[in-house]
Amino acid sequence: MIKNVIFDCGKVLAQYDETYIASFFTDNAEDAELLGRVGMARKYWDRFDRGDLEEEEYLKLVKEELPLRLHESVERLSEGWIDHCDSVPGMAELVMDVKKNCKVFLLSNFNKKLRQEAYKIPALKEFDGLVISGEVKMVKPSHEIYRYLLDTYGLKAEECIFVDDNAANIAAGEAVGIRGYLFDGDVSKLRTHLLTLSIIS
């Protein structure tokens, strides 16, 4: 019986598109593409997620790759990018329906600023626990972060389902006994799946 639903954040609870986000910090489409591609490159974002890159070092490294005209833009991007991660439509309502029967948890590769910015993603206010990679210095799909979640909140793997948009992350959860659901952006399809499991009614 499923008693706990674990959600990823980016592209599950909150929309995430580098060029769209960067467009709020520069004046033209070409610069938005460049700012998003360089300023939000995985080689930096992955280090943020692991908690081993501080903002000052990040800005120094990124500015070396960007033209001078975008240096101020990347500073504003670093400070305010999460303001433009809009909620996935329908997901906040789904979380509230899940809460009627189950506990809900977050397991996300995200920098440590997420907790202080969580109010910007309305659904997170309803969560029973958050495991954020930048805080615990572990990242998906490492098995240790799944075990950390289970141990921290006293959960049984067989009583959990994990919703993530990344197949490798789902596979890692299943390796430690957590049922997975690969989210493709279709909230109604996820709702139907949770209905079949009697998680929502």
pLDDT digits over 24-39, tens only? Answer: 999 999 999 999 999 9
The H or E element that residue 91 is part of is helix 91-99
The pLDDT value recorded for residue 118 is 67
Give the percent of the chain with pLDDT over 90: 80
The mean pLDDT of 115-124, rounded to a whole number, is 76
The residues spanned by each domain of the chain are 4-15+86-196, 18-84
Nearest to 50 by CA among 137, 110, 132, 143: 137
Residue 7: pLDDT over 90: yes
Q: Which carries the bigger pLDDT value, residue 74 or residue 112?
A: 74
Residue 54: pLDDT over 80: yes
Residue 194 near residue 102 (C-beta atoms within 8 A): no
Q: What's the pLDDT band for 49 if we cut at 50, 70, 90?
A: confident
The pLDDT value recorded for residue 113 is 74
CA 100/CA 146 separation, integer angstroms: 24
The mean pLDDT of 106-123, rounded to a whole number, is 80
In which region does residue 134 sit, left (phi positive, over 0), alpha (psi from -120 to 50) or beta (all else)?
alpha
The pLDDT value recorded for residue 125 is 85
Q: What's the pLDDT band for 119 if we cut at 50, 70, 90?
A: low
CATH of domain 4-15+86-196: 3.40.50.1000
The pLDDT value recorded for residue 71 is 98
